[in-house]
Amino acid sequence: MIPVTSLPAIECDSTPLHLAHLRDRARVPWWWLLWLAVLVGVHAAAGWEGTDTAGLAIGLTSWVGWTIWRRLRSVRWAEPLLREQPWLPLAATLHGRRIVAGETVLALRGMPRQVRNVIARTGQVWLVGPDSRGRALVRVEGSGRPWPARVRRRAGRASLPRQVDHQWRERRVFRVAAGFAVLFAAALAALVVGTVIEPPPSEDLGEAFFVYGIVVVPLVMVVVRARALRSHLRGEANWYPLPGAVDDADFAEDDELCVRGWTVLPEIGPVEVEIPACPLDLYTDIWFHRRIWVLGPPRLGEVVIGMPEFPLAVEALFSPKSLP
């Protein structure tokens, strides 16, 4: 997607929808904070004998409040900037978490490493700003999302481009699950060693089994989850372009919707396409280019579609097109 430089940035392709979703994420979920009053009430009923419950409540609430404020702060200054200026294309180089766009050094905030890799591969960004306080917005090729950035003085060492990883989210979840599995396995080993060294008395066997259950049950759940995630990790394959389109969808309320469309498979003909959780960037790419990229040979059934040069891939279903 290439934004139009003659229009304000907020009027270009999917930028206003991305901004609306960022605004929704920054809204304060006041209903969620009701649990704080419940915990304080329970703590007061217990006679204020300890500070662990109140400390946990205050700590979690402070963390959630800071997260919401950080997101809200970015949206508040981003919207006026997008209304005043257009997206300007600039040659850019990636330097870790910073970029050099033209003569400006910008520190990117919140952009994942895989998305930053797009800058290293393409050598280009679209920029709005910076304003008088050194704040700017950056978008990369393949996405309409505006990412906040700050002007800095030094850039650091340049980063080399890497291969596009379309499964980086799945790999991250798998690593987290594997880490928890190792943690619970170590706890189980410690319990076994402790039991062998000092067996519990017969009257405490129920408590010992309970402690084992606390460790074994989460361990089994995490291992099953990790195995399922590993089975979904796909090997390398080629991308195949197919003509296709998607139906109208309202992304105003959600940035991932169940989207339907159509495409044409070789030697089969027109088929229906169902994307259970279609990201906004993928929907926009199919809408504008009238093309669907398939990972691996096109076929009926479950397939993987995405964007070859952008770290985004989701599962879709190709089914025979029903007659009218």
The pLDDT of 132-145, averaged and rounded, is 89
- Residue 189 has a CB neighbour count (10 Å cut-off) of 11
Q: Are 168 and 115 in contact (CB under 8 A)?
A: no
Q: Per-residue confidence at 43, pLDDT binned at 50, 70, 90?
A: low
Amino acid letter, residue 281? D
Task: For the chain, report the end-to-end CA distance as a whole number of angstroms.
Answer: 34
Q: Output 253 or 318, whichever has higher pLDDT.
A: 318
What pLDDT was estimated at residue 25? Answer: 64
Query: Looking at residue 323, what is its pLDDT?
Result: 45
Q: What is the DSSP code string of 190-218? A: HHHHHHHHSPPPGGGHHHHHHHHHHHHHH
Question: 53 or 270: whose pLDDT is higher?
Answer: 270
Q: Give the number of other Cβ atoms within 10 Å of residue 128's Cβ.
A: 26
CA-derived radius of gyration, the chain:
25
- One-character DSSP codes across 266-277: TTTEEEEEEEEE
Q: Strands, E, within the chain: which ranges? A: 88-95, 98-101, 104-108, 124-128, 135-139, 147-152, 239-246, 256-265, 269-279, 291-295, 301-307, 312-320
- The CB-based long-range contact list for 156-163 (8 Å cut-off, 24+ gap) reads 156/95, 156/96, 156/98, 157/95, 157/96, 158/93, 158/94, 158/95, 159/94, 159/95, 159/96, 159/116, 159/120, 160/120, 161/94, 161/117, 161/120, 161/121, 162/117, 162/120, 162/121
CB 138 within 8 A of CB 129: no
- pLDDT above 90 covers what percent of the chain? 18
Specify the higher pLDDT residue, 322 or 136: 136
Highest mean pLDDT pick, 11-20, 107-116, 247-256: 107-116
Task: State how beta strands 88-95 and 98-101 pair.
Answer: antiparallel
* Averaged confidence pLDDT in the chain: 81
Tokens standing for residue 72: 């809200």
pLDDT tier at 117, thresholds 50, 70, 90: very high
Note the pLDDT tens digit of each residue in 187-239.
888 888 888 888 877 777 777 777 788 888 888 888 888 888 777 776 677 89
Task: Give 140-197 pLDDT, tens digit per residue.
Answer: 988 888 898 999 988 888 888 888 888 888 888 888 888 888 888 888 888 888 888 8
Nearest to 181 by CA among 229, 224, 210: 224
pLDDT band at 252 (very low <50, low <70, confident <90, very high): low
